Each structure stands twice: as C-alpha cells, then as structure tokens.
Structure 1
C-alpha cells in the first residue's frame, strides 16, 4: 500500500501506527514500529503548509519532528525514554509511505 500525503493533510502517530487523515477524514493506518515500547498513544499531529511542517500537538515523548535536507520526515525521541535517537519515518514533500507487507 502506498499513500501520498499532500498539502493540508495531517498525521497522528502512536507507538504502533501512523494514521493519515485527509480532508474527508479517511484514514490509512500503516505500521510504524515492530514493537511498541510504550503502549500508550504518542501523538504527533501536524500538517504541511507550503512545504513546511506545522505541528499542532506533540507528546512529551517526542523531542522534535523535522524535515531534513534529504526531504525525509525525521522524529527525534527524548533520551530519558528510549535513548535519544533520530528515526526516519518517511520520505516527504510529498510523503510516499509504503508498508512492510
């Protein structure tokens, strides 16, 4: 399954999935991590506006969410929870996500 994320879409992410919501509120749920270290919802809700991330809500478990120079969506987890590290979630602008199945 491949899903593109275009201007104005938002993502809500938890420990197991990335949920894509379009303007019609249709969701595509894709796996994010092989195992969930927390079990609870880890929300990062944002949209893309003019090629830039606009973060609406971000959990305390997350240090930052950025688009790097390679046009990838990168999340940085806070070190007190699972060891601070950057994790590439997706190629972006526009996003093209493919699941592992």
Structure 2
C-alpha cells in the first residue's frame, strides 16, 4: 500500500487501484437530478427524486438544500453527514453523450 499526499485534502491518503465510480465532479439540477463526472471519464445523469422519500434524505426535499451538492471524497456530499454511495450513483445513472 502506498501513501500519497493529497493537496486538495491537505492530508495523506492510501493510494488504491483505479476506481471507476469515484465522483470527480457534480452539478445538481433543479429537477432533482445530478449530472456527474466519474473517474473513468464518463458523464452520467442520476435521478435523485425517488430517494427524497427516504428519511435520511428528507432534508434535501428543499431545492436550496439539494443544490448544495458537492463532490467530496469520491462521492456526492451535502454536509450534515448526508452523502450517497458512489457505486449507487454509477450503477443507477445513465450515460450522457
């Protein structure tokens, strides 16, 4: 295992193998979808609306809160301990041209 310094995080991290579903960028959309860019270079669209009924995501029913989405540590994060597994984002999204 190799340790590298991640300047963006300001800390040392373990360098792992290539993970295609690691989120590199996210753009939240007003229709509760996420436009995502993944480590494998794919651009995908994820429909978040069905998840808003889950208690852990209920605070994101506010469009203002949803639009705070950011790419952080390889996934999408909204702060306040609200995030989502990047594998789900990758597997349940559709590829954009």
TM-score computed with the length of structure 2 as normaliser = 0.36
Q: Which has the higher helix share?
A: 2
Q: Which has the higher strand share?
A: 1
Greater C-alpha Rg: 2
